[in-house]
Structure 1
Amino acid sequence: MALVLEWSNDQEVFPISPELISMLEKLLQIAGKKEDIPLGEVALSFVDDEEIRQLNKEYRGIDRPTDVLSFPMLEYGADEMVIDYSELEGIAADEDTLTSGLYSGDQLGDIVISVPRALAQAEEYGHSIEREIGFLFVHGFLHLLGFDHQNEEEEQLMIRKQEDILREAGIVR
């Protein structure tokens, strides 16, 4: 088994093309390689603003639409792991980590992208909808692995990782 992308489309604002899915699968492979995650499944849902608003309200207590939500399936066990982001740059998961329950090789989690938000942000930032969806997908994938952006240091690490993955895939602004 390799990294696998399963996806669904529950919106009618923008057609999801085979080329877009191919790009996202490429991004998943690049991100997985960079983060030493060789196998697992990511479920991606394309939704409208109303659907993501409902999810955001239900799971985060925030009653407004957002661009992307991630729901990780990784389990950290009884002694929940605390990630020190300052030490993660360039560090790969070892084989023990991949087989210890931290990562089982099954479902990594779900990513939900609001296509209307992605369209608006693509226009706002002056790049293609494909680039924006790719960015949101990579952002969501990093969240599935435990990365976050609650402070400046974490945010800068995520930005570097996101841009590095997009650049390697040839997706630029």
Structure 2
Amino acid sequence: MNLEIINDDHLLPAEREDWIRKLVEFAAAKLELPAETEMSISLITDDKIREINREYRDKDRVTDVISFAIEDDEADEWPNFRELEDELDIPRNIGDLFIAPGHVAEQAKTYEHSFDREFGYTVVHGFLHLNGYDHIEPADEQVMIKLQEEILDAYGLKR
């Protein structure tokens, strides 16, 4: 997995970046993604994620994670990226996650989870969105949440 982590404001210690990388690589192996698959995770403030949420999702509130999947089915005006990747022999890029560690810490307290469990949940949840999983329909939610829990449990981040 070719993962770029952007932590310019040092919202998490540098060693946490290795933890994130290992979790994403573990989840990518579970989904059997090619090793050269690309994505990014930007760690941002609550104010910045609220701004992004307002601008792109019309929701004026802080959230834990926002995912921008490159292969989103709703973007009909975009080219077929999988075909282009194959044609040009370039790695697949699944998209970008924006995560607000401050909000994740608040949620950990609210749900009485450790920060590791809540942050892991957030990373895996967003990662699954980048890979086409969703939870809008109950049947899709069941599939996504089951896979999410399998990954977290296998990684050692049990409830």
TM-score (norm 1): 0.76
Q: Could you report, residue by residue, the CA deviation over 1:13-62 in whole angstroms, capped at 9, with x for unpaired residues?
A: x53341x2222222212221222212311210111111001111111111
SS in structure 1 of the partner of residue 63 of structure 2: coil
Q: Distance in 1 between matches of 2:7 and 2:25?
A: 21
Q: Which residue of 2 aligns with 1:64?
A: 61
Say whether residues 1:33 and 2:24 are aligned partners: no
CA RMSD across the alignment: 2.6
SS of alignment partner, residue 127 of structure 1: coil
2: CA distance, partners of 1:122 / 1:11: 21
Distance of aligned partners of 1:101 and 1:162 in 2 relative to their CA distance in 1, 3 Å threshold: farther
User: Closer, same or farther in 2 for the Cα pair 1:166/1:99, shift >3 Å?
Assistant: same
Q: Which residue of 1 is the match for residue 141 of structure 2?
A: 155
In structure 2, stretches of 5+ residues that fail to align are: none
Match of 1:124 among 89, 93, 110: 110
Q: Which residue does the alignment assign to 1:138?
A: 124
Listed as ranges, the gaps of 5+ residues in structure 1 are 81-97
For the Cα contact (< 8 Å) 2:70–2:94, is it kept in 1? yes
Q: Return closer, same or farther for 1:166/1:53 CA change in 2, 3 Å cut-off.
A: same
Choose from 2, 5, 8 the match for 2:3.
5
- 1:88-119 Cα shifts (integer Å, max 9, x gaps): xxxxxxxxxx9645886332211011112101
Report sequence identity in percent: 37
Instruction: Trace 1:46-85 onto structure 2 (pairs within 5 A).
Output: 46-74=43-71
Q: How many residues align?
A: 152
* Aligned position for 1:92: none
- The answer on whether the counterparts of 1:4 and 1:25 sit within 8 Å (CA) in structure 2 is no
Q: Is the 8 A contact 1:11 1:115 kept in 2?
A: no
Name the CA distance, whole Å, in 1 between partners of 2:49 and 2:155. Answer: 27
